Amino acid sequence: MAFVRWDPLQDLLATSQRLNRLATGPSGWTPPVDVFETHDRFVVMVELPGLTQDDVQLQHHEGRLTISGVRRERESACEQFHRIERGHGNFSRTFQLPVPIDPERITADLRDGVLTVTCPKANDGSARRIHIS
């Protein structure tokens, strides 16, 4: 007769994963994001594997860039999950960029599960040479 050693930590982790999967809240999951700046733009890169353009919305309002959407849970023909780490449900991330951007020139590209949003800095003309007469 073989004995199976009980691992209480493993049971706790499995229970936590089941509860997280069933929990409903304002945000179902949080995709990882990188934000970086060059001399003329900000670039926001969001990991969104399995999502399509129809699953994601972008909005720029009052200097804030918001990326939101939903990842639907896929049906699986299984009796029991052993690990659930990929989040499902709604998500929303909002970024206040430190300088004004030109909302008319924002571009977005979703490729290979990564959304890349390019936000060109606004040419507000704040630095200019003034002629003295």
At 40, the amino acid letter reads: D
Instruction: Provide the domain limits for residue 114.
Output: 27-74+85-120
Whether residue 126 is contained in a domain is answered as no
Check residue 125 and give left, alpha or beta (phi > 0: left; psi -120 to 50: alpha).
left
Whether residue 103 is contained in a domain is answered as yes
CATH code of the domain covering residue 111? 2.60.40.790
Predicted TM-score of the model (pTM): 0.71
92-101 pLDDT per residue, tens: 999 999 899 9
Report, as an integer, the average pLDDT of 113-127.
83
Whether residue 20 is contained in a domain is answered as no
Whether residue 110 is contained in a domain is answered as yes
Whether residue 16 is contained in a domain is answered as no
- Find, among 81, 48, 42, the residue nearest to 65 by Cα: 42
5-26 pLDDT per residue, tens: 777 777 777 776 666 555 544 5
Task: Look at residue 29 in the predicted model and tell me its pLDDT.
Answer: 84
59-73 pLDDT per residue, tens: 999 889 999 999 887
Q: List the structure tokens of 6.
A: 């009980």
Whether residue 61 is contained in a domain is answered as yes
Whether residue 14 is contained in a domain is answered as no
Count of structural domains, the chain: 1
Residue 20 has phi, psi (to 5 degrees) of -60, -35
Whether residue 6 is contained in a domain is answered as no
